[in-house]
Amino acid sequence: MGRQHWKKIWVGSAGNMVEWFDWFVYASFATYFAGAFFPSGNPTAQLMNTAGIFAVGFFMRPVGGWLLGRVGDRKGRKAALTLTVTLMSVSALLIAVAPTYDVAGYGGAFVLLVARLLQGLSVGGEYAASATYLTEASDPRRRGFASSFQYVSMTAGQLAGLGLLIILQHTLSDTALHDYGWRIPFAVGALGAAVVFYLRRTMLETEVYAEDTSHAAERGTLRALWQHRREAFLVIALTMGGTVAYYTYTTYLTKYLSNSAGLSKETATLVSFTALTVFACLQPLAGALSDRIGRRPLLITFAVGSTVLTVPVLTLLKRVNGFWPALGLSLLALVVVTGYTSINACVKAELFPTGVRALGVALPYALANALFGGTAEYIALWFKNAGIESGFSWYVAGCAAVSLVVYVTMRETKDLDLARVASREAPSVTTAS
């Protein structure tokens, strides 16, 4: 792969890392800044208010998917990528400088809410913008490899946020973290987003988009997307199992090991950090494999593995009593999930023609992510509170089984010419030959 392709991969995925760093540190540092924006006296109420503002971000992701997907199809991939990182930079800066309750009353909470709305818009559009850019800008023979860096960068953002939390916990006192230390990661995020903004202003538009001859007035419209509704519903269905599994073994894993398995928070955090590091390294390998054998074999392997292994893996994880068995089981699960994460970006982009590709990826994915990925942790906790925690394992396996049906019946997308994908040529849910 040439130097120019590596540059495109770097610029296309770097913003994704910053986006997920900012998204992740909000949840990670909430316990430290919750008391700064709401009246004192009830820590639980403070956390609930902060969590409520966090949830708003998920509701805004479909809106961001529609808005920024439209920008990506009408104004170009570069314009969408630049706008997403601008929104994230502004949102991180707002949180970093937001006034406390003692200074501005509920004015600080309002600033926090606005910032979270901007974060939701940004993340909702970033996935599709980067997925589309990485897929279109890469060598057609290496699309799987190139697009795999989307999840490399997403995971790197989570690891960077987790690493900064660990550093601050060891260098600042608990009082200092509550007083001002929680502002540091948001300042770092704003600075990182500003750097990526500069990089993206100098990036080149993809040749596939620049040479697209579709009617300009129809680009990025819901009317145009409706003409590809079968592919849009396909994106929702193939995302369903993958996003539930991904959030289960990344975002929820630390809490599960701590609350259900009884491991210390330090051990659970170390397991997650180590497992995610290995997980990030696996993405390009699996993406490159898909360029040789196709996308469907990896997707099917993921779905079969998740359907069959989720219940035993989560059951055994609940009974682990140390770092190594917890890490081994976590890695087993994440190896299986890699069959989805490494290539899902390019598979979705390969389904749509150029004029509606960004919106076609963005909106259905954002809806599926909000419905299934964003609710995974809440559903897990609901089952736990109901006294039937094992029910969540069956829920995850069931979602994977639904996606398995889609993977088995969809056509292969590896060798499609992105410049010639049209409605009649787009892969659909038909019996594979």
Whether 364 shows a pLDDT value over 80: the answer reads: yes
Lowest mean pLDDT among 3-7, 89-93, 159-163, 271-275: 3-7
Whether 69 shows a pLDDT value over 50: the answer reads: yes
**Cβ-proximal residues to 281 (8 Å cutoff; 6+ apart), any chain:** none
Q: Given this model, what pLDDT does residue 424 score?
A: 41
- CA pair distance 237, 244, nearest whole angstrom: 12
Task: Say which residue, 8 or 391, is predicted with more confidence.
Answer: 391
Question: What's the pTM value of the predicted model, to 2 decimals?
Answer: 0.87
Whether 106 shows a pLDDT value over 80: the answer reads: yes
Identify the CA nearest to 305 among candidates 400, 237, 411.
Answer: 400
User: Helical H runs in 202-322?
Assistant: 207-210, 222-226, 229-249, 253-259, 265-293, 295-317
Instruction: Say how many residues make up the chain.
Output: 433
Query: How far from chain centre, in Å, is Cα 153?
Result: 10
Task: Say which residue, 7 or 171, is predicted with more confidence.
Answer: 171
Pair of tokens at residue 42:
């009830």
Task: Say which residue, 87 or 15, is predicted with more confidence.
Answer: 87
pLDDT in tens, 177-195: 999 999 999 999 999 999 9
Q: Given this model, what pLDDT does residue 50 score?
A: 67
Query: Which pLDDT band, with edges at 50, 70 and 90, does 41 fall under?
Result: low
Query: Which pLDDT band, with edges at 50, 70 and 90, does 265 fall under?
Result: confident
**What average pLDDT score do residues 320-325 get?**
95
pLDDT in tens, 373-428: 878 888 888 898 889 999 999 999 999 999 999 999 999 999 988 987 754 444 44
* Average model confidence (pLDDT) across the chain: 89
Q: Backbone phi, then psi, for 191, in 5-degree steps?
A: -65, -45
Pair of tokens at residue 371:
């419905």
Query: Which pLDDT band, with edges at 50, 70 and 90, does 36 fall under?
Result: confident
- CA pair distance 431, 1, nearest whole angstrom: 34
**What average pLDDT score do residues 90-114 get?**
92
Identify the CA nearest to 416 among candidates 340, 344, 355, 346.
Answer: 346
Q: Given this model, what pLDDT does residue 2 score?
A: 64
CB 35 within 8 Å of CB 112: no
Q: What does the DSSP 8-state code read for residue 212?
A: -
pLDDT in tens, 198-233: 888 888 888 899 888 777 788 889 999 999 999 999
Cα 424–428–432 angle (5° rounding)?
A: 110
Q: What are the residues facing 429 on neighbouring strands? A: 410
